[in-house]
Amino acid sequence: MPVKNRFAELQDEITAWRRDFHENPELLFETHRTAGIVAGKLREFGCDEVTEGIGRTGVVGVIRGKASGSGKVIGLRADMDALPINENTGVPYASKTPNAMHACGHDGHTAMLLGAAKYLAETRNFDGTVVVIFQPAEEGGGGAKVMCDDGMMERWGIQEVYGMHNWPGQPLGSFAIRPGPFFAATDTYEVVVTGRGGHAAKPHETIDPVVISAQIVTALQSIASRNADPVSQIVVSVTSFVTSSQAFNVIPPRVTLRGTVRTLSPENRDLAETRISEICTGIATAMNAEATVSYSRNYPVMVNHDEQTDFAVEVAKSVAGDCAEAPLVMGGEDFAFMLNERPGAYILVGNGDTAMVHSPEYNFDDNAIPAGCSWYAEIVERRMPAA
């Protein structure tokens, strides 16, 4: 079955929802307006249950099929939050909030899942229960983990869970996915190098943390090039180098380095954490300085489950005629927490030739809406077919 006709009929309405979300972006867990609109629409659609405040500002809706004999319960998830970016698209519905923008398409994800929920509540042509999950704080807040920690999976008996992300550069409305590790673990670290400051004209009287930190920055690159298996995926980046003095003629006493680590295996994650500490403290000690390392493990590797990925491919082909193999992504995705709790799969839907996500010029293409809604709905109707 191709794109469902009902979603072509609903496209203008769903587009209006999406553009309203786009015009009124909210960050992290502060998705109060968005969550309120989502909950209101789910009640308007006739969902059997609507619960707010899961994961602080998350919303969960329950839709029961015409029959319940299968006992199956499937979760469908969309994220709601925006990014702290000033928009530069020039569209008439551009963000009205300074330093907040839907630069990753979560407005589109939310609107597509709402569209699917409306259709599923109208038709209920399935045997089982669907749980629609609207999550806050994907962009750095770990909202998926907070919702899981609130007992979401157990409370509604979710057995499988599926999610979707739009993807610029992929043909509009097409799909791509891969089994196994898909999105990387995203860790952060901070290194404080403490030496002895002094006058820049008398460097011999100092222990220069700038020179020491520069050596650390260079040495950290050896983790990927000389410590990790060359065929594995690992990124160690230093993204901030801040001295405790901004004067031209002062050697500062302290430098702070910050960065990120991206890996696709537990082994490389452990390797990176260990080697960052060893390299930083070793170089500092050799130069008579001190390095303090703080390492934070954030989102885990997002791993698609084999059976559910095969099923997601089948559904994607039914909607779009094909489903490509997606590349590995070194960006992070906190849907990983849900996939650690339950088997499931995460798929990409093409956004066409647009600016990349996290860009001030990015905008979700509303023409992807029918394909995305159809995939969500087909996941339910094919996994839990009515008799």
The answer on pLDDT for 199 being more than 80 is yes
What would the mean pLDDT of 76-90 be, rounded to a whole number?
98
114 to 54, 203, 250: CA distances (angstroms)? 17, 63, 58
Among residues 149, 134, 19, 139, the alpha carbon closest in space to that of 79 is found at 134
The answer on pLDDT for 2 being more than 80 is no
Task: Give CA–CA dist 345/312, Å, rounded.
Answer: 7
pLDDT the model gives residue 4: 81
Clarify whether 325 is annotated catalytic.
no
> Any binding-site annotation on 139?
yes
Q: Please report the domains of the chain, with CATH numbers, ordered by start residue.
A: 5-182+301-383 (3.40.630.10), 185-299 (3.30.70.360)
Question: Are the C-beta atoms of residues 113 and 162 closer than 8 Å to each other?
Answer: no
> Any binding-site annotation on 52?
no
Question: Are the C-beta atoms of residues 51 and 59 closer than 8 Å to each other?
Answer: yes
> Any binding-site annotation on 165?
yes
Is 78 in a helix, a strand, or coil? strand
pLDDT the model gives residue 3: 72
Task: Kindly state the helix (H) or strand (E) to which residue 135 belongs, with its residue range.
Answer: strand 129-135
What would the mean pLDDT of 60-77 be, rounded to a whole number?
98
Question: Are the C-beta atoms of residues 278 and 267 closer than 8 Å to each other?
Answer: no
Task: Give CA–CA dist 255/212, Å, rounded.
Answer: 9
The H-assigned helical ranges of 197-323 are 209-220, 222, 266-286, 306-320
**pLDDT level of residue 1 (50, 70, 90 thresholds):** very low
Choosing from 26, 87, 127, 138, the catalytic residue is 138
Question: Are the C-beta atoms of residues 91 and 77 closer than 8 Å to each other?
Answer: no
Clarify whether 138 is annotated catalytic.
yes
Question: Are the C-beta atoms of residues 113 and 76 closer than 8 Å to each other?
Answer: yes
Choosing from 26, 30, 79, 81, the catalytic residue is 81
Q: What is the mean pLDDT of the chain?
A: 97
